[in-house]
Structure formats: C-alpha cells, structure tokens
Chains A and B, each alone.
Chain A
Amino acid sequence: MIKVENIAKSFNTTTGSQLHVLKGVSLEIKKGEIVSLIGPSGSGKSTLLRCIHGLEKIDSGAIYMEDELMDPNDKKKYREQRNKMGFVFQHFNLFPNMTVVENCKLAQMNVLGRSTEEAEKVAMEYLEKVGLPDKRDAYPSTLSGGQKQRVAIARALCMNPEVMLFDEPTSALDPEMIKEVLEVMKDLGNQGMTMIVVTHEMGFARKVGNRVVFLEGGHILENCASEEFFSNPKTERAKDFLSKVFYD
C-alpha cells in the first residue's frame, strides 16, 4: 500500500550545521498491516512518519502510494494521495475554537464537500466508535487528554482514510488515560485498518502490531514480525534497547 524507497531527510540546526535524521530508509507497508515504529529518541521514527504524510519534505528517495509516486509537484494527485492518510498527533491538535462535533465536521464539509447533515451523521458515528458521543458539544479544553486523543482519532476517521498514521499518540497522556486510547486503536486494527504507529508502548507493539520496525540513528536496524522482534531480536542494539525499556 505504501512503499518508502531510500529516503533521506536532514534539518538545518540553529548552529548552521546539518542534522541528518533519516539516512536512506526503505520500507513497505501492506494493506491491513499494523506496523510499529520503535527506537530510541532521535532515531528518526517520527520524522519517517511525518515524511510519509508529507508534513516534512524529503531530501531524496521516493514514496509510493498504491504503486504510484507521491510527487508534491503534481498538486492535485498529491493532495488526493495525502487525503487517503489520517494523522494523529502526540499533542492532539484539536481546534480549540470549535466543539468536538465541529472539529469532526470541518474538513468533511470543506474538503469532501459533505452536507451538514451528512457530516454530522458521520461525525456522530465515529464519536460513538471512540465512546464519546455525549461530548459532542464540549470544547476541547474541557476534555481529559485521553478524551482529546480519542476525538482526534475520530476526527481523522471522519475523512475515511485508508491508512492511519499515529505519532506517539499516548506519549503526552497521563498513565491512566493510555489504555482507553490504545483500546480504540486496537479496535481500529481489528477492523482491518492499515496503521503505522510510532510508539513507546511495547505491549501494544507486541500484542496489537503485526510488525516492528526498529530504527536507530536514521537507519532501520530491524524489520520483522512483532513476536519475533520481542522474543528474538537479531541486533545487539535492539537487544540493548529492549533490556532497557522493560523493567523486570
């Protein structure tokens, strides 16, 4: 469904030097797969996810969606390709000036051209799915972190994406709120949604995810089935990482 071919990305630092975050990364994601991107901080996993969506422009390499090149210069097609992806941020990024249901309706009406009634129906359907139909008229500032993230997921789903990208969706949450968000994501996966998830939740990566991609220093070090990665990591770096994240 999505093919990433040898992409590189670097950022200019404040001191004027270049910071190479991705140094030639290739990856293929099949329809219905749940891929977890894991690795230490600064390994490039969030940047990889943002490059796939086009929030960051890649320096070299190519990204294909359903075997078609994603080319930012082909504006109309590029827009259509991007609209097939939903994105969930670490910090939710709900629109604070709108209620929950308005957050869910805005893009449906303005991008997909749905009528108010139709958008309302779809919004309520997904709010129901994330368990928050009663919060339809609440403003985001009155919600807990977990609720905000569930609304953000509903908002992305309203656009009927074919693949969902999650950028550390539980990292900004109170410990007690993490599970409710992961449950929503698990349900989504069970319904066959293709998902790419940057996460530090090893339990989620192991139980819900099909595949783990382990990054370090801008390279993919491991790319294998979740169970295999957790029970039998091949590289020393991955073994070291796993020994540090699990506290026995």
Chain B
Amino acid sequence: MFVAFEKVFTAQNIGYLAKGALLSLAIAAISLLIGLVLGILGATGRRSKHIIPRTIANIYVTVIRGTPLLLQILIIFSVIPSIYTAFTGNILRINPILIGIIAMSINSGAYQTELIRSGINGVDKGQWEACETLGLNSWQMMKFVVLPQAFKRIVPPLISELITLIKDSSLISTIGAIELLKGAQVIGAQYYDVMSPYCIAAVYYLIMTFTVSLIGNYVEKRLAESD
C-alpha cells in the first residue's frame, strides 16, 4: 500500500502539503467571514416585517441548504465564465481558488443565516420588553442587548461551522484548486503511491480541525463564565 512512503515523506513534500493545508485553512476562514456577513444579512431578511426581503432570504436558505455543496461549486465554476463570455465575448479563466471561496461563502452564509436567526430568537422575550419599557429603539436593542447575548449562543456552532468548512474545502480540488487534497493527489501521481500522501493529508486535516475545536472549547468556557 505505502509503496513509496520513504520517497514521499521528505521535507520538500511535507512542506508542499503544509502549504496546501494553509491554503485550505485560509479558504475556510475567509469563507466563514464572508458567510458571516451573508448570514447577518440573511437573518435580518428572514426576521424582516416586509415580504420581499423575507422571501429572498427564505429562497436563499432553502436552495443552498437543499443542494450539495459540490454541485454549487461546479455550477458557479461554469456559470461565472459563461456570463462573462456572454457579456464581453471574451473567454475568462478565473482562479479556481476564488471560485471556491465564492461558492463556499454563499453556502456557509445560508447555514449561518439559520445559526444567527436561532441565536437571536433564543434571547428571552423579556429582554426585548425591558428594552421597550426603557425606551430604547430597535437598533439600540439589537446592538446593546440582543446581539451580545445572541453572539454567545452563536459562537460554539460557528466554530463547528469552521471545522465543516475546513473539511469541505477539499471539494474544490474537483475544479483544480491545489489545496491540501489536490496537493496530495499531485504527489501521489508523482510517486505512483496515493496512500502515503493521503495519510499525510489526513493528519494535516486532523491537526487543523482538532486545534480549532480546542480553541472552541476554550472560548465556550470563557463565555460561560460570565453567565
């Protein structure tokens, strides 16, 4: 199985895969942040009194959560260049990493919409009423009272979302982005041994996800202290 393990296990290859791992981590982190912005917009839309933003947000969440991420990546990978071609007549070759970040951000935004919405809904009704009787307006209620309390509920699931994104970033290997998994495949092809680089990649994924979950546990404990 590990026919060429000694040949694969060199400082150069380990370093090459480490770069891939960092790229995967960066893609996941950036997608999480853009997803957070989309999530806040989505949650605002879903809680809106007006039907239009509410409908848009509902469709967004339903479509994105109801279809596979891999399919979303492939669709965006083919749709963006064709739109560009349709409008300009030129051929566009975009960076697959960029496509990956766009697709994963949109995907994560839908999940974060629901996280943030349930975090806000989880804040006790009495808190809103107390704000109301003190004369605070809805923006002040959100800023000073509701969001800080909702944030506490959102952080733990947000950290699991980051772990999911780190693992799911492997899906963009299918459109040619040389992240950790694709890097392992490249090395595998070089030495006619896929098992060795795959196992090294698995260790990298584990190190990343395990570290993030440790940080998550720490943050969760710190947040619980002020309860």
Contacts and interface: CB of A to CB of B under 8 A. Distances in A.
Contacts, number: 58
Contact of A93 (B130, B135, B144, B227): B130
Which 4 pairs from chain A and chain B are nearest by CB?
A: A87-B133, A107-B134, A93-B130, A93-B126
A86 interface: yes
A82 interface: yes
Nearest to A97: B148
A111 B127 contact: no
Interface of A: 53, 55, 79, 82-83, 85-87, 89, 91, 93-98, 106-107, 110-111, 139, 141, 155-156, 159
B135 A95 contact: no
B149 A97 contact: yes
Interface in B120-139: 124, 126-127, 129-136
Nearest to B151: A97
A86 B133 contact: yes
Given A97-B148, A97-B226, A89 B126 contact: yes
Interface residues of B, number: 19
Interface in B124-172: 124, 126-127, 129-136, 140, 144-145, 148-149, 152
A139 B136 contact: no
A54 B214 CA distance: 47
B144 A55 contact: no
B134 A111 contact: yes
16 contacts: A53-B133, A55-B133, A82-B133, A87-B130, A87-B133, A93-B127, A93-B130, A94-B130, A95-B144, A97-B149, A97-B152, A98-B144, A111-B140, A141-B227, A156-B133, A156-B134
A94 B132 CA distance: 13
B226 to A, nearest CB: 6
Nearest to A108: B134
Given A83-B135, A97-B148, A139 B130 contact: no
B133 to A, nearest CB: 4
Nearest to B130: A93
Most A-side CB within 10 Å, residue of B124, B145, B148, B226: B145
B226 A79 contact: no
A94 to B, nearest CB: 8
B134 A106 contact: yes
B132 A106 contact: no
Contacts of A139: 226
Contacts of A86: 133
A107 B137 CA distance: 10
Given A96-B149, A96-B227, A110-B144, A55 B135 contact: no
B145 A95 contact: yes
A98 B127 CA distance: 12
A85 B135 CA distance: 10
Contact of B133 (A85, A91, A97, A98): A85
A79 B127 contact: no
A79 B136 CA distance: 10
Contacts of A106: 134, 136, 144-145
Contacts of B152: 97
B157 to A, nearest CB: 19
A107 B136 contact: yes
Nearest to B134: A107
Nearest to A53: B133
Given A91-B126, A93-B127, A95-B145, A107 B135 contact: yes
A110 B136 contact: yes
A98 B131 CA distance: 13
